[in-house]
């Protein structure tokens, strides 16, 4: 384990599931909660959240396929396959039912997991992302003020060619421009993510998660046929997704709460850890 993560007293494990090796962190005991990171991050994004949640729960924090210390195969980055990876991990750990917390791309995976395996999900939390087919396309539309990077990342091969060797410059742009307070992403945090996404195959794997978004949208169409019944908590940062996430989920779920987090951008677990811990503890403590 690299020096930047050794200071955290979490147990690191590797499990072979769905024909790949997934690295994950595990802590605590009790009802299981799975935390799913987004791009350009790894399990490390949850470092401030794990200690508090693990006081009353078993907290499982994987590196998604293609990220961190997990395998980086050429295929399998549609959100259904990523959800199948995590479902297989949950089963391997002996948990027939889990609660899920997903941020960014991890939120897409958490939504897909809940829609694909509703009986296996106790509660669902999605943070600062819109789901393919449920509003994501609007924020991908650059002509109408959408974000440029979606289309760029979806171009085959070109982003890897341009960014390799410039990972720090590229990732630092996002941490500075989509946060309310850029100082919330510390230098050591940036170094950790740059290290992770400078590993062979990591950039390509991350971009493959974008290249499959249209495929993900087709999966969502199937999920519209039946509403989700588990309790759902949905929050977006004030200067990012805001309350649009909660509102977008009302069409596919019966029990959605949440809203917009003041003075917060995209990276909620690192920008507002105290707020997130408070609302997660409250949400998971309800019967």
Which pLDDT score, from 0 to 100, does residue 9 have?
72
C-beta of residue 94 within 8 angstroms of C-beta of residue 74: no
pLDDT in tens, 17-74: 999 999 999 999 999 999 999 999 999 999 999 999 999 999 999 999 999 999 999 9
Average pLDDT over the chain, rounded to an integer:
96
pLDDT in tens, 265-278: 999 999 999 999 99
Which pLDDT score, from 0 to 100, does residue 3 have?
46
What lies within 8 Å, CB to CB, of 85 at 6+ separation is: 17, 18, 20, 22, 62, 64, 65, 76
- Residue 6: pLDDT above 70? no
Per the residue annotation, which of 71, 78, 85, 104 is the catalytic one?
104
Nearest to 68 by CA among 192, 211, 209: 192
- Residue 185: pLDDT above 80? yes
Architecture label for domain 3-285: 3-Layer(aba) Sandwich (3.40)
Which pLDDT score, from 0 to 100, does residue 287 have?
79
Which pLDDT score, from 0 to 100, does residue 1 have?
47
- The verdict on whether 219 is a catalytic residue reads no
Residue 7's pLDDT band (cuts 50, 70, 90): low
pLDDT in tens, 191-218: 999 999 999 999 999 999 999 999 999 9
Which pLDDT score, from 0 to 100, does residue 4 have?
55
Measured between alpha carbons, how far is 21 from 9 in angstroms, rounded to an integer? 22
- The verdict on whether 266 is a catalytic residue reads yes
Nearest to 125 by CA among 135, 136, 111: 111
- Residue 5: pLDDT above 80? no
Instruction: Tell me the whole-structure pTM to 2 decimals.
Output: 0.97
**How is residue 75 written in tokens?**
């295929």
Nearest to 192 by CA among 270, 103, 136: 270
pLDDT in tens, 124-169: 999 999 999 999 999 999 999 999 999 999 999 999 999 999 999 9
Per the residue annotation, which of 210, 216, 219, 223 is the catalytic one?
210
- The verdict on whether 12 is a catalytic residue reads no
Per DSSP bridges, beta strands 20-27 and 58-62 are antiparallel
């Amino acid at each position: 384990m690299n020096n930047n993560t050794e200071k955290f007293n979490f147990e690191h494990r590797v499990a072979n599931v769905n024909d790949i090796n997934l690295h994950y962190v595990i802590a605590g005991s009790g009802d299981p909660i799975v935390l799913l990171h987004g791009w350009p991050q790894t399990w490390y994004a949850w470092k401030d959240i794990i200690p508090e949640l693990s006081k009353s729960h078993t907290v499982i924090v994987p590196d998604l396929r293609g990220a961190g210390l997990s395998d980086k195969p050429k295929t399998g980055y549609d959100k259904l396959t990523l959800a199948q990876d995590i479902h297989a991990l949950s089963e391997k750990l002996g948990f027939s039912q889990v609660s899920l917390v997903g941020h960014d791309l991890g939120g897409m995976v958490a939504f897909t997991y809940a829609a694909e395996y509703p009986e296996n999900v106790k509660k669902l939390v999605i943070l600062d992302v819109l789901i393919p087919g449920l509003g994501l396309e609007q924020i991908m539309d650059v002509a109408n003020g959408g974000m440029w990077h979606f289309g760029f990342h979806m171009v085959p091969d070109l982003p890897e060619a341009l960014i390799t060797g410039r990972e720090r410059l590229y990732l630092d742009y996002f941490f500075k421009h989509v946060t309310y307070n850029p100082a919330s992403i510390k230098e050591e945090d940036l170094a950790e993510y740059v290290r992770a996404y400078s590993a062979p195959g990591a950039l390509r794997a991350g971009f493959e998660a974008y290249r499959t978004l249209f495929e993900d949208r087709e999966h969502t169409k199937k999920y519209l046929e039946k509403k989700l019944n588990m309790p759902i908590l949905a929050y977006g940062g004030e200067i990012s997704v805001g309350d649009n996430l909660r509102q977008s989920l009302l069409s596919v779920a019966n029990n959605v709460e949440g809203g917009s987090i003041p003075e917060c951008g995209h990276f909620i677990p690192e920008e507002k850890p105290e707020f997130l811990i408070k609302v997660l503890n409250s949400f998971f403590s309800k019967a």
